Amino acid sequence: MSNQKKKVKSKIAIKPHLLPVEERKNTFKEVNLGYIDEKEAIEECERCYQCYKKRDPKVKPPPCMEQCPTHCNSREIIQNILDGNVDEALKIVYDHYAFPKSVERICPGFCQTHCTAGKKGDPIQIPHLKRYFVDHHGVPKDYFKCEPDTGKKVAIIGSGPLGLTAAYFLRKLGHEATVFEKLGVIGGMLAVGIPEFRLPKAILNEEIENLKKLGIIFVINKGYNKEFNYQKIFESGFDAILLGIGTHKSKWMKIPGEEGKGVLHAINFLRNYNLQKDMPDVSGKKIAVVGGGSSATDAARVAKRLGADVFIVYRRQKEQMPAGEVEIHHTEEEGIPINFLTNPTAIICINDEVVGIKCIKMRLGEEDASGRPRPIPIENSYFKKDAVFMIEAISQEPDLSDFDKNKFEINRWNTFEVNENYSTSVPGVFAGGDCVTGPKSVVDAVAQGKKIAKKIHKFLGFENEES
């Protein structure tokens, strides 16, 4: 037996570098700078316990792999990095993600929630590790290698995470993949729903260029409509259609005063900011943002950088906010107050102009269908908060106005009803991502994108290899 002592693993994570708070206030530069050298990344890799290393991950996956919607084997990635097999580590990453530089910047880190290292200290910083190596080592050697052309053509409607992922894997399988995007930019919510300080446009555009080099065809300013419906798409020579239209339609609170000038929705506010058009002048203005998800924190942080005096109101407590822990921390760190257990009941307008919001204090009751405590209004606890803009960020849904309800089965949540193969009620038309599940994380959409690509591959008459 060797007398060499086993190195004690540090309980403290190597944390990523951040743009200083003071510097963030007037700039849209990326906040999370990640690791700045390989030494930091390797030191963090060395903290990994390599759980279930000797077991087949298909039989007994490590906790990180089990928690990730994509089932990416982060343990194996880390081991390959430590062994010096960086290209093999990259292959594993790109076998799950078409655009990992973008994904790892906004990944909620589900893998970290059950990390063994996290039981006695900090969890391994898995998204930051993967980000460092894809940022600094490029794509794997076989990235641009695809199976021989099959002669089959797939139309993908929507260029968000679901559409880009499915297009990538369909192209790798040898099919012609054409992505149709109704906006003038590619990326869906990645391009128009996430601010530059969380996902720089240069990073996303670089990964889209790689997808173009892979052979994926992109058509912008062309979305699904009555003149370009599924019948027309099939008639133009496509063998299958995938609907990945996301949730770009605003949901409103439906409270008095919503028709007032100065009432905005976070989805529209963020889209206009990202496209740099039709933006209201918010500098020096008091803004209330309603909601607790990423859209709320993103909208508030954008408004702050544009010079607004902004605050958030949320009807539950911090622990129930859907936004990521890091996003919430950065929001508060940047001087944006969050008013918890507070819910607007009306928007106060004078001559159609917003001047404030009427709120009521809330308390938490039993769990509701979301698994979170139900917010209950406290009687006679009304109060007013001044604001000249109110940005609603409560939720969004798919815009299905151009889809024939007699052909497509739509459920009560206004999303597409699909079967276990992600097939809609129209033969040959598949659907996935947020337009099926409702708003979820980027990794949920990515995971579905790969699964649906395999389902379409089988529908087209080909067998799938195990993976």
- pLDDT for position 446: 98
The pLDDT confidence band at residue 466, using thresholds 50, 70 and 90, is low
Domains belonging to the chain, first-starting first, are: 17-137 (1.10.1060.10), 153-248+397-459 (3.50.50.60), 252-394 (3.50.50.60)
Lowest-pLDDT range, 58-67, 168-177, 378-387?
58-67
Residue 4 pLDDT > 60: no
pLDDT tens for 253-299 read 999 999 999 999 999 999 999 999 989 999 999 999 999 999 999 99
The residues, any chain, with a CB within 8 Å of residue 265's CB and separated by 6 or more, are: 250, 252, 391, 392, 393, 396
The residues, any chain, with a CB within 8 Å of residue 451's CB and separated by 6 or more, are: 422, 432
Percent pLDDT > 90 in the chain is 93
pLDDT tens for 445-458 read 999 999 999 999 99
| Three-class DSSP labels, the chain | CCCCCCCCCCCCCCCCEECCHHHHCCCCCCCEEECCCHHHHHHHHCCCCCCCCCCCCCCCCCHHHHHCCCCCCHHHHHHHHHCCCHHHHHHHHHCCCCCHHHHHHHCCCHHHHHCHHHHCCCCCCHHHHHHHHHHHHCCCCCCCCCCCCCCCEEEEECCCHHHHHHHHHHHHCCCEEEEEECCCCCCCHHHHCCCCCCCCHHHHHHHHHHHHHCCCEEEECCCCECCECHHHHHHCCCCEEEECCCCCEECCCCCCCCCCECEEEHHHHHHHHHHCCCCCCCCCCEEEEECCCHHHHHHHHHHHHCCCEEEEECCCCHHHCCCCHHHHHHHHHCCCCEECCEEEEEEEEECCEEEEEEEEEEEEEEECCCCCEEEEEEEEEEEEEECCEEEECCCEECCCCCCCCCCCCECCCCCECCCCCCECCCCCEEECCHHHHCCCCHHHHHHHHHHHHHHHHHHCCCCCCCC
The pLDDT confidence band at residue 6, using thresholds 50, 70 and 90, is low
pTM of the model: 0.94
pLDDT tens for 81-121 read 999 999 999 999 999 999 999 999 999 999 999 999 999 99
